[in-house]
Structure 1
Amino acid sequence: MDLRHVVSFLALADELHFGRAAARLHVSQPTLSQHLQRLERSIGVELVARTSHEVRLTAAGRVFRERAEDIMARVERAGEAARTAAAGRLGTVRVGYNLPAGQRVLPGTLARFNTRHPGADVEMVELRTGPQLAALADGRLDVAMVYGRPTTRGLRSRPLMRVPLVAVVGMAHRWAGRAEVPFRALDEETCILFHRDQSSAMYDAIQSAARTSGIELNVAEEVDDPGATAIIAAVRPVVGFASAVRGRLAGTAGGPRTTAVRLYDPVPILDLYAVWNADHEPLVAAFLRCLPEPGSLQP
């Protein structure tokens, strides 16, 4: 299969017009048609159906387009890796993290990695667990630092630390000023939660604690942005949830006027994991070797 033919097909799939696709690729329409015909012959199926009125992808074409886009993205990343090596740099590790990982895990890990591999780069992005795992699956991340141990085939993981959850309330809330409350006290409160696909482990830990306490949470709203949750909690008589690490930042200068309250009986606990694909580059393995030992970090 000639990659030029794949590029021509993808341009045609985007434009659904031979003239525009040919102009985009700076080739003639007959050349574009030849590329498509040769690609279809090599695969053995029709990818594009055309009449005098329209150009459309067949069912096979739509499936091929999805896979072909992934192939071309990988080719581009391979080229970038080669250019990086030619420039004398080792490459880049793309890391996703949440706030506890950013506060407790990454500083020491990056210090060790920079000392051992000064020619390498690390790109970082802060995301919740669900978006991190999606980015790991489609190749946008090399390492994810997430709540819960994923069971998806082809993923590897190691524990980093345990993180308790706390309640977050505004300064006018009746819990403000209290050090801790039993979880069952939430039976009398209105809560803010988030959609489960954002962080299934955190969502399940909260709901499991509610079941253990014999209560059902009264969820008034689902807000996926932790910052927005704090803003709402600051101005409304509701209870949000956060990691103890994020809770310690509540009410800091310039942020929403909130405070964290410890929960007990039970204490909702999350396990923070580093997760990566079983098939990974040597530089990713080098980064993983710089992670802290399990159990060595405090929340």
Structure 2
Amino acid sequence: MDLRHLRYFVAVAEAGSLTVAAEKRLHTAQPSLSRQMRDLEAELGCELMIRGAKGVGLTAAGRVFLDHARVVLLQVEAAKEATRRAATPAKASFVLGFLTGYEFDWLPAVMRIMRDELPSTEVVILSLSSPDLADGLMRGKIDLAFLRHERRAAGVVFTRLIDEPLIVLMPSEHRLAARDAITADDIAREQLVGVPHDKSPALRAVTDAYGQRLGIDLTPDHLVDNLSMAISLVASTGGIALMPLYARNLLPSTVTYRVLGGVPPTIDLSLGYNEANTSPLLKTIVSKISELKFARA
């Protein structure tokens, strides 16, 4: 196994199609890509993906391997960058954190702001859970983060950006996929994939409160640490998951979503920084990023 196998696998998983990955992302022949994926599965001794007429979906093993492959590729890029930095004079850095998945919506516009305000500063991007981002802010390891308004984040200043509704994730072939909206009765009959209190306290609090409002028990049947695992379990168990709207950006062809009927619960996305950081430049960046929410309204 080499890095090429990992890059190819991640490209296929994210595209949901061998053909699309080959033509649009990897610029290689589709038969060659298929052969590389079969070789990878043979080396691992298990099936990583399910190939069908509608595209490619990941098995439970494939979803686990995807998480690790992404980490390895990120570590390789980090090693390259660290090596380059070691060979050049030191320069200032700014560490920007994202609750995993929100990079799709926010990173391009934010990077334009960073280039305008910090043209000679190295911007380091981290993708973590919200509690880990809050911890990094409190410890001074992260300068600015997109995260939930964590209640146990002493010394962190939060600026609310958006409130987004929860949606229902389900297998594409699920019977509820025929509905335009999902009701409380629908949810009560299904296996629920959800998050634990320690890993995603804000989301768990919102879903628990929603269950209390509807008079149904939303204690998860399966607990997951992150959205990637939630999508994997939804696909493999046939259950459903209540997740923020941004999750729709990350769904493979085997998983779809529907809105909640009535008044859906919402969850925040906020900017956070350590109040001890009194840099006028930081305040300027926060102000400019906050303005983006109006442009998206």
Which bin holds the TM-score, normalised by the shorter protein? 0.5 to 0.7
* Mapping for residues 240-255 of structure 1, pairs under 5 Å: 240-252=241-253
The residue number in structure 2 matching 1:263 is: 260
What CA deviation, in whole Å up to 9, does each residue of 1:138-188 have, x standing for no partner? 222121211235464322111111111111111232112433212442111
Identity of aligned residues (%): 18
Letter in 1 for 2:192: C
Distance 1:270 1:137 in 2: 22
**Residue in structure 1 matched with residue 157 of structure 2 by the alignment:** 156
Query: Alignment length, in residue pairs?
Result: 211
Q: Deviations over 1:24-76 (max 9, x none)?
A: xxxxxxxxxxxxxxxxxxxxxxxxxxxxxxxxxxxxxxxxxxxxxxxxxxxxx
3-state SS of the aligned residue for 1:94?
A: strand
The match for 1:275 among 269, 272, 278 is 272
1:107 alignment partner in structure 2: 108
8 Å Cα contact 1:169-1:238 kept in structure 2: yes
> Which whole-Å CA distance do the structure 2 matches of 1:184 and 1:126 have between them?
36
Aligned match of 1:236: 237
Q: CA deviation at 1:250?
A: 1.8
**Is this contact kept in 2: 1:148–1:272, CA < 8 A?**
yes
Q: Secondary structure at the match of 1:291?
A: helix
Give the 3 Å change call, closer, same or farther, for CA 218–152 of structure 1 in structure 2: closer
Structure-2 residue corresponding to 1:284: 282
Contact 1:157 1:276 (8 Å CA) reproduced: yes
SS of corresponding position for 1:156: strand
Contact 2:207 2:218 in 1 (8 A): no
- Matched residue type, 1:269: T
RMSD of aligned Cα (Å): 2.6
Amino acid at match of 2:282: V
Report SS of the residue matched to 2:216: coil
Instruction: Say if 1:213 and 1:266, in contact at 8 Å, map to a contact too.
Output: no
CA distance in 1, matches of 2:265, 2:217: 15
C-alpha separation in 2, matches of 1:88 and 1:226: 36
Cα deviation for residue 92 of structure 1 reads 1.4
The alpha-carbon deviation at position 248 of structure 1 amounts to 4.0
Q: Scaled by the length of structure 1, what TM-score is found?
A: 0.63
Q: Which runs of 5+ in 1 are unaligned?
A: 1-82
Look up the SS of the partner of 1:233 in the other structure. helix
Q: Match of 1:221, as an amino acid? A: H
Distance 1:241 1:141 in 2: 29
Kindly indicate whether the alpha-carbon contact (under 8 Å) linking 2:140 and 2:274 is maintained by their aligned counterparts in 1. no
Give the residue type in structure 1 aligned to 2:102: A
Secondary structure of the 2:263 match is coil
Partners of 1:231 and 1:278 in 2: CA distance: 38
Label 1:184 to 1:142 Cα distance change in 2 as closer, same or farther (>3 A). farther
1:8-27 equivalences under 5 Å are none
Distance apart, 1:297 and its partner CA: 5.3
Q: Does 1:119 align with 2:120?
A: yes
In structure 1, C-alpha distance between the alignment counterparts of 2:213 and 2:121, rounded to whole Å: 47
8 Å contact kept, 1:161–1:294? no
